[in-house]
Every structure is written in structure tokens, then in C-alpha cells.
Amino acid sequence: MQPSFRFLFALLCIVPLAVLSLPAQNGLYEVKEHAHPPHGWIQHSVPPADHTISLRIGLPQPNFNILETHLYEVSDPGHHRYGQHLSKEEVEELVAPHPESLQAVNEWLASHGIQEDEITRSPAKDWITLTIPIGMAEKMLDTKYHVWKNLKTGDDIVRTTSYSLPIGLHEHVDVIQPTTMFAQFKPFRSTIVKSNEEPSSVINDALGSITNPATGLTVDASCNQTITISCLNQLYNAVGYKQSSTSKNSIGVTGYVGEYANLADLQQFYAEQRPDARGSSFRFISVNGGLNDQSKPGFEANLDVQFALGISYPILATFYSTAGTPPFKPDVITPTNTNEPYSDWLDSVINQVDIPLTISTSYGDDEQTVPESFARRVCSGFAQLGARGVSVVFSSGDFGVGDGNPDPATQTCFTNDGNNQTKFIPVFPATCPFVTSVGATQNISPEVAVSRFFSGGGFSNYFLRPAYQKRAVPGYLDTLEHGTYQGLFNRNGRGVPDIAAQGDRFRIIVGGQPAMIGGTSAAAPALAGFIALLNEVRLRQGRPPLGFLNPFIYSIGSSGFTDILSGHNSGCGTPGFNVTKGWDPVTGLGTPNFGRLKNLV
Ligand SMILES: *[C@@H]1O[C@H](CO)[C@@H](O)[C@H](O)[C@H]1NC(C)=O
Ligand SMILES: *[C@@H]1O[C@H](CO)[C@@H](O)[C@H](O)[C@H]1NC(C)=O
Ligand SMILES: *[C@@H]1O[C@H](CO)[C@@H](O)[C@H](O)[C@H]1NC(C)=O
């Protein structure tokens, strides 16, 4: 970046907004974004006048394509820049908006009497957040907000179906939310404790062991009923690997929607499954006032922390708790809790100098409920993490090709683009090409795609197939009979998931009690634990961390995964896609073989 740009940034921070105000910004408005509310939401009432809203304004990142080029070069094991990750400052320069955009937005804000000290800017100045009364937002965006109610959950949110901006401002703003976003962010886990199915004891030696012909590995037979840390180490060829940690290595687990990781439960889990880790714990980071309520252990948070840490101990671990707990009640004068909370988390973590090298997230939502403009910006945030050397891992969702409607007879996979077409429903952020998405398997010999719930998989309707999938994914599409599911999925989209891991019958501790739990939510933290161990292998050799994994996974890394050959992922009233030889949109390239991967990294 030229020095003059930097100077201008500094200048813009100092000059009061009002000085720059030009009446021209109040010119003619034109619709910037328009959405149809997803199935199941009804317009309910008018929000109270004193209701406030926290708006996020995303300014365009004109150099994002350069960042993307850097990201692919430093993440490609075949490239001479492999591992030469970018610094925080380098990334910030590449996502900074153009000074003209900064100025245009400043002028518009100033014309509504908003001062610099009333807004917050991200370090790269590509995001602005401000909390204002709803009436003011309505004026600025020439729109009308309503309280919308979700018929199924009863949740209320304050949204609009369309907003406008002065014509001259359109090219200087990518996105403003919350406006048209009706997402319902959820954890991807399904509890399976039933009164007639008590969690079995940890290891039942009486069952003996089984040798898996696909991998040649011997696994306790009890692992077919109950997955433990020891089972995962056996299945994925990590037995005998001496875990250790260099000071640079770290792993992070994110928690949202009021999911708290319980410290006492973690100790009890360690005592049972990872005795050498007893007494160790995680560092807690609160994002946006996210709580750490030890009286409310969360199934999801406990699952994620117990398995990510149980595999990766003694690597330094962090648990992030990001605020934002539904149901939101629009009658109180607190700001709406809003957008998909990853954007808040991303703001916070991108601002950290030292970010955990592997980060696992087991939450997501139907891609179509996240407006494309917003999904692209969140996805760009994950690219920034990758460029800085972070491996970002997401679970691929638990509803196969569908949207989670529990009754397969009444499929509800309708598009909310106004056409009300039937279409498969991929999950975001798993569909972001800059994250590694993880599907779920079960059983041990052979390991197959899960069948109690269905491993999320399919093709993005927003993101095109990335270069790293240009062999693997067409290879799969060629196996489909001509016309299969025509119109139900985007053949040119980014394929999901990338890889898979065990995802059912995990034994965890919640509230002092053992529980059995499953979901791609289980697969992601387990996989992330092994990635952290692979980083350790590299760091100990004085090499940089793996960073964005996919270019490695789809090239030399692919031989470090065991191809899964059986199963499918039902949804939308169909059997979904089939697991096949090679990559498939159910289990990706397969499950990890740590022993092999550690020689490949
Ligand atoms: C979409 O079509 C389905 C079936 O044809 C119908 O049940 C549903 O109500 C429609 N949804 C909307 C929002 O029109
Ligand atoms: C594992 O359990 C499944 C059913 O839960 C069963 O079909 C399969 O035969 C078992 N496999 C082994 C190797 O025990
Ligand atoms: C999946 O496999 C079944 C059984 O071989 C076959 O009938 C079906 O057409 C396949 N589905 C897809 C989407 O490939």
C-alpha cells in the first residue's frame, strides 16, 4: 500500500465527521438489498420506538483478490511460499477499504448527525458498528423494521425485507446488517441419551478388539458402541504418538448461543479418558461480553472442549464465549443480538496478535438464511485467518442435504429467493471455501457415513468450486447418472464436506453425568485436535504451522485420509448423495490417518 493511503487513514480518524459532511449524500435512495423472509417467519408487530439496534456496515475490500492469491500461495505445499503466512498488519492492508469509500460513508453518517466517537471501526476499517435507535436506522436506510416471529421456535427478531441507500453510496457499502438476515444459528449436535440407553462404561474389555482391514489398525471392539479419546487415537493411528507442546502451538474452540464449557466436567472427563491431562484447563476469552456461567454446562460446549482438548493435550487451549443468546426479546431496550455471531467473534479474533493455530466451530445455519453479501464478508474473515496461518475447522451440519425438518415425509427444502423452488439446503459457514468442513462417520470396521442423523453435505449456492477441488469434485459428479437431482443442487458450487471423522456415540461428561452425544459437532473438534497435533509435528521441526488446510488436504495430504465407502445423506425427502470411492459430498476425502499425515506434513 502506498504511504499516501496510510496518511489518509490517519487523517480520517482525526477529522471530525461533520467537517466532511456534504448534503449530496442525502440524495436519491435506491434499494440496496431485498430479501424474502424464510419459510416459517411471520411479520408480527412494530418494534418499540426506543428499541435500539447495532448495525454493522461492511465497506468493500477492493484488494481481497490479492489477499486470496497470497492465501493460496502460502497454503499450497507445492508453492515456494508455502508456510510464509502474512502478519496481522499485512492482512489488514489487504482488506482495507478504499479511502473514497471511507469518506463517502463518513459523510453519510455525518449527514445523520453521527460522530466518529459514536462508531467502532475494525482495525482494517472495513467494518463499522454503531448502536442507534431503530427510528434512526429506518431513516438512514429508508426502510421500516418489524418484529418477526418464528412459528416453530417462537423466537422474535427485528428485521426488514429491504433497505436502501443513497445511490452514490452503493459502491461504497458491501452490506449492512441486521436488516434482511433471518438466520437461526444453531449447534450441530444431537443428544442421544435415552432412558433405555444408558451410556455404557468407558471401555468394555470383554468385547475384545477388531482389526479394520481398510487401515490395518486394531481397535477396541467397544469403540463400536462408545467413542472415547482412546478410540479415536486407535482408529486414527495415533497410538504411541508422544504428545507434547511447543510454546507456539495452540488450539481454540468457539462457543455461542449460551453454550458454556464446564471446568469441573472437563476434569471429570480427563479423570476418565485422559488422566495425564488432569489439572490442566483452557484459557477463557469473552467476546462481546460472552459469559462463562459455570452453573450451566452446555452439551455442545462440553463436547467440543472435552474432545478437542482430550485429543490435543498438552497443547495450549482457548475457549471463546461469544455473547448473543436467543430468544431475543424486542421489548427491552437492549440492542438486538443480531447477526450471525461469527462476525463478532471474527472482529475480536482478527484483532488478536496471537490467534490459536487451529480453531474448531460446531455451529452453523442454512446457507440461504444468511444473505449472500453477508456470507461473503464472513467468509473473507476466515480467509484472513488462513492467511495468518490459522486452520479453521467447521462441522458440516447434521441434516444431510436437507434443512433439518425432522419429518422426511414433509420435506421443507424450499428456497426463500421468492421462487419457492425445492432445493437442497447447504450449511454455512461450512460452504465457505476458506474453511475445512468436517462430516461424520460411525462404526469401526468398516467406518461408514453416519445414519442416525445425516452428515451435512452438498454444494454451495453462493461460492463457486475452488481450484483445490477441481479434480476431486468433478470426479464425483461424473459418477452421478445424467440428470440426477437436476435443479436441486449447484454443480459448480464449492463441495462440502472436505473430510470426516467419527461423529456419533461420543461419551462426554455434562453436569457431572456421563452422556452420549453425536453430530458433526463431535467430528469437528475431534478432527481439530488431530490438526493441532500435526501442527506440533511441524513446529517441532522449526517449520511454520499448516494454516489453511484444504490445498494440502486435496493434494499431497489426500493419501493421509482413509476413504469411506458406504452410506448416504438423506434430506429433503430424498436419499441424498451416496458415499463413493474418492471424494463425495457426505464424507469428503475420508477420515484421518494421523500416523500417515504426520509424515506428509
Ligand atoms: C412453497 O411451496 C410449498 C409447496 O408447494 C408450500 O407448502 C409452501 O407454503 C410455499 N411457501 C411459500 C413461502 O410460498
Ligand atoms: C458396529 O455396530 C453396528 C450397529 O450399531 C453393527 O451393524 C456392526 O456390525 C458393528 N460392527 C462391528 C465391527 O462390531
Ligand atoms: C445411490 O446408490 C443407489 C444404490 O446403488 C442408487 O440407486 C442411487 O441412484 C444412487 N444415488 C445417487 C444420487 O447417486
pLDDT in tens, 42-57: 999 999 878 888 899 9
The closest-lying atom of ligand 1 relative to the alpha carbon of residue 416 is: 13
What pLDDT is recorded for position 410? 63
CA of 227 to the centre of ligand 1 (A): 41
Residues 470-481 have pLDDT tens digits of: 999 999 999 999
Q: Which ligand has the shortest distance to the CA of 207?
A: 2
DSSP state of 106: H
Tell me how far CA of residue 359 lies from CA of 203, 318, 414, in angstroms: 29, 9, 32
The ligand 2 atom at the shortest distance from the C-alpha of residue 224 is 1
Tell which atom from ligand 2 comes closest to the C-alpha of 444. 13
Q: How far apart are CA 481 and CA 315, in angstroms?
A: 46
Q: Which of 224, 190, 188 is nearest to 448 (CA)?
A: 224
Q: How confident is the model at residue 516 (pLDDT cuts 50, 70, 90)?
A: very high
User: To test ligand 3's pocket by mutation, which of 578, 579, 580, 586 has the most ligand atoms within 8 angstroms of CB?
Assistant: 578
Among 370, 374, 332, 39, CA closest to 185:
370
Ligand 3 and 480: CB distance under 6 A: yes
Alpha carbon distance 461, 471 (integer Å):
19
pLDDT at 502: 97
Angle at 575 between CA 442 and CA 562, to 5 degrees: 35
Confidence of residue 370 (pLDDT cuts 50, 70, 90): confident
Q: Is 598 in the pocket of ligand 1 (CB under 6 A)?
A: no
Whether 304 is a known active-site residue: answer yes
Ligand 3 atom nearest to 485, measured from its CA: 13
**Cβ(373) – ligand 3 distance below 6 Å:** no
Catalytic pick among 68, 93, 156, 300: 300
CA of residue 327 to ligand 1 center, whole Å: 26
Q: How confident is the model at residue 320 (pLDDT cuts 50, 70, 90)?
A: very high
- C-alpha 563 – ligand 3 centre gap (Å): 18
Report phi then psi at 9, rounded to 5.
-55, -50
Does any ligand 1 atom lie closer than 6 A to the CB of residue 41?
no
Calculate mean pLDDT across residues 305-331.
Answer: 83
Backbone angles phi, psi at 449, to 5 degrees: -60, 145
Q: How many CB atoms lie within 10 A of CB 283?
A: 12
The question of whether 93 is a catalytic residue gets the answer no
Whole-structure pTM value: 0.92
Q: Is the CB of 578 under 6 A from ligand 3?
A: yes
* C-alpha of residue 372 to centroid of ligand 1, in Å: 22
Q: Rounded to the nearest 10 degrees, what angle do helices 520-540 and 299-312 cross at?
A: 30
Distance, in Å, from the CA atom of 155 to the CA atom of 521, rounded to the nearest integer, reads: 23
Domains of the chain in sequence order: 27-61+96-182 (no CATH), 209-328+339-600 (3.40.50.200)
> Mean pLDDT across the stretch 269-279?
97
339 pLDDT more than 90: no
DSSP notation for 187-219:
E--EE--BTTBPPPPS--GGG-EEEETTTTEEE
Catalytic, 521? Answer: yes
The stretch 472-500 carries a mean pLDDT of 96
pLDDT at residue 334 tops 70: no
Which of 56, 73, 74, 65 shows the shortest CA–CA distance to 94? 65
Question: Is a pLDDT exceeding 50 seen at residue 282?
Answer: yes
Out of 343, 521, 536, 584, which one is annotated catalytic? 521
Distance CA 455, CA 414 (A): 20
C-alpha cell of 169?
453510496
State what percent of residues in the chain have pLDDT above 70: 89
The crossing angle, in degrees rounded to 10, of helices 99-111 and 3-14 is 10
Task: Report CA(207)–ligand 2 centroid distance (Å).
Answer: 12
- Rounded to the nearest 10°, the torsion over CA 61, 432, 232, 282 is 40
Specify the residue with its C-alpha closest to ligand 3, atom 10.
578
Q: Cell triple for residue 580?
A: 463413493
